[in-house]
Amino acid sequence: MPYLFTSESVSEGHPDKISDQISDALIDNFLAFDPKSKVACETLVTTGQVVLAGEVKSDTYLDVQKIARDVINRIGYTKGEYMFDGNSCGVLSAIHEQSPDINQGVDRTSPEDQGAGDQGMMFGYATNETTNYMPLALDLSHMLLRELSALRREGKDIPYLRPDAKAQVTIEYSDENVPQKIKAIVISTQHDDFDEEEAMLAKIKSDIISILIPRVQAKLSKGIAALFTDNITYHINPTGKFVIGGPHGDAGLTGRKIIVDTYGGKGAHGGGAFSGKDPSKVDRSAAYATRHIAKNMVAAGLADEVLVQVSYAIGVAQPMGLYINTYGTSKLSMKDGEIAEKIEKIFDMRPYAIEQRLKLRNPIYEETAAYGHMGRENEVVTKTFVSPDGTSLTLDVELFTWEKLDYVDRLKKEFGL
């Protein structure tokens, strides 16, 4: 019997995502000037106020207020009428030094013996239902909001948009787990005030369906674009007026959108957030590493769908174990446990090895903090950082290294494909 599956995304102007982006901008600045920095930084945003808290061990000093304000302005909170803007909001820092009790479990004389920054389990997932090996409902939700943000920044076709927005897509699947059509799309977008609410709602719904949806369709493959039929149920700003939004409408916290950040509810999640954590925290680095494994496995043709789990003890380098689930889609004459044993020998999952393999001690994290950490484009970009004393540092960094298909050939060889 056909079934439905739904995933959601939020825009870079959503309060929780503002927090994530500030926390990751701090991570990037610390790593740019001191790649050995250990950072765990949480951000709270609310009406006219930003609060930074957490632990840091680093040889560099940052102007955290300026970094936070720059992120807020970049996102688009630049007007006093939003009740939260980068130039006038208060920024309170309560960041202090990292506990030596934690640090002694991570640092080692030999870097290869670096212990995990915490205990826990992390999951990576991949499916061949999209070209970037991500679940379709989440991929479309991200795409809708990225395009909505582009329209907002252009300020032409839909000039009344404000930064806060959410999207949700429901897909109908066949018994064979193949997407058949889009059942429903929900979009709530913050907007400027209108004189008449009924006319406002009609205008927003018309613009979303006639302007946003075609722009998204034009960027999709023919097969995925065909899932947009005339029978989609649209809920556009279903509560009505959405003028008050962002941190004035709802407080935001780092790490509160972990399902948006990963797979939209597909596969599994270990519970740990990513943003605000340097790569010694395996919540982040091992989640990237398991995605890297899962994506390369599916791309190599080992299975149509793969879930990878790894687990750690704090201060211990070697993981507690590796788990593989191919959901019965494996193309190999091996059980999933046997596949896991071979994968363990191919991918070194010690924290230091992950950091080196995926180049994680670089300032690459602010870009991850909106529209998902997975399924993104691997690319090299140039970034410039300025310290409080005026020192300028320009670096070429490789983003989303865990999305590279650099192990496909080796996996095919190892598994005889």
pLDDT per residue over 181-192, tens digit each?
999 999 999 999
pLDDT at 159 over 80: yes
183, 257, 291, 361: the active-site residue: 257
Give pLDDT tens digits for 312-332.
Answer: 999 999 999 999 999 999 999
Kindly state the percentage of the chain with pLDDT values over 70: 97
pLDDT at 101 over 90: no
53, 251, 313, 353: the active-site residue: 251
pLDDT at 37 over 60: yes
**Average model confidence (pLDDT) across the chain:** 95
Question: Residues 287-312: what's their mean pLDDT?
Answer: 98
- Comparing CA positions, the residue from 252, 306, 253, 258 lying closest to residue 283 is 258
- Given this model, what pLDDT does residue 19 score? 98
**Residue 16 annotated as catalytic:** yes
Start and end residues for every CATH 3.30.300.10 domain found in the chain: 3-8+136-245, 120-128+282-414
Gap between the Cα atoms of 332 and 205, Å rounded:
48
**Assigned architecture for domain 120-128+282-414:** 2-Layer Sandwich (3.30)
- Given this model, what pLDDT does residue 4 score? 98
**99 — pLDDT class (breaks 50, 70, 90):** low
17, 284, 295, 357: the active-site residue: 17
8, 12, 16, 403: the active-site residue: 16
Task: State the greatest distance between any 2 C-alpha atoms of the chain, in Å, as a whole number.
Answer: 68
The answer on whether 165 is annotated among ligand-binding residues is yes
- Given this model, what pLDDT does residue 118 score? 84
- Of 58-62, 73-77, 116-120, the range with the lowest mean pLDDT is 116-120
Question: Residues 364-369: what's their mean pLDDT?
Answer: 98
- Of 84-88, 100-104, 124-128, 382-386, the range with the lowest mean pLDDT is 100-104
**Residue 42 annotated as catalytic:** yes
The answer on whether 16 is annotated among ligand-binding residues is yes
Phi and psi dihedrals of 183, rounded to 5?
-85, -45
**H runs (alpha helix) in 246-370:** 246-249, 258-261, 282-299, 336-346, 351-357
57, 142, 281, 350: the active-site residue: 281
**Residue 20 annotated as catalytic:** no
The answer on whether 345 is annotated among ligand-binding residues is no
The answer on whether 147 is annotated among ligand-binding residues is no
**Residue 256 annotated as catalytic:** yes
Gap between the Cα atoms of 261 and 274, Å rounded:
8
Kindly state the percentage of the chain with pLDDT values over 90: 93
**111 — pLDDT class (breaks 50, 70, 90):** confident
**Residue 202 annotated as catalytic:** no
Question: Residues 220-241: what's their mean pLDDT?
Answer: 95
How many helices and strands (H and E) does the chain possess? 13, 13
**Residue 14 annotated as catalytic:** yes
- Given this model, what pLDDT does residue 98 score? 72
- Given this model, what pLDDT does residue 100 score? 60
The answer on whether 373 is annotated among ligand-binding residues is no
State pTM to two decimals: 0.96
What CATH class has 3-8+136-245?
alpha beta
pLDDT at 110 over 90: no
**Residue 396 annotated as catalytic:** no
Which DSSP helix (H) or strand (E) runs through 412?
helix 408-414
The answer on whether 336 is annotated among ligand-binding residues is no
**Residue 281 annotated as catalytic:** yes
